[in-house]
Amino acid sequence: DYEEGTYTPALTAQFGGTATLHSGISTLNYVKIGKTVTISGRINITGFSGTHGGLQISLPFHTSSGNGGQADYAHIMLNTHGMNLNDNTVQVFAEAGANVNTMMVMQMMDSSVHNNGNWLSFNTNQLNNNSNEYIGFVGSYKSA
């Protein structure tokens, strides 16, 4: 099984609301070989409207399930530009659980400074809505 193409991810908040993407910087590449899906590319967020919450980004295929525990969880590495990250953020990534079609943008915090744990979701109310927020993607996950 081999498939490749592009898709336009939907960016939403945990509790509602949607992001608007720049029309020319709104698609990601994917390659699916067997059950392994690799995504790459960059998108530009130009605005957000509606209810806020953790920023979720759709995947081209559902993640796998049935391997027990958190074996089906995936982490996709992200690079950002112009994003209003917490001052103590040391890394940004996206996490997808088992049997889902979205990933949640997470901030890994400097645990010596942040006392409430070192992973926090990136909340959509942190978006600047200034057409200068980019997210770059690279990573693979196991599909259903």
- Per-residue pLDDT of 59-103, as tens digits, reads 999 999 988 778 889 999 999 999 999 888 999 999 999 999 999
Find all residues with CB under 8 Å of 133, minimum gap 6, and list them.
Answer: 44, 45, 46, 80, 81, 82, 83, 84, 127
Number of helices (H), then strands (E), in the chain:
0, 11
- Per-residue pLDDT of 103-115, as tens digits, reads 999 999 887 776 6
The per-residue pLDDT of the chain, averaged, comes to 93
Give the residue among 92, 89, 95 at the shortest CA–CA distance from 111: 89
> Which two structure tokens, joined as six digits, stand for 70?
């958190």
For residues 5-19, average pLDDT: 96
pLDDT at 117 over 80: no
pLDDT at 36: 97
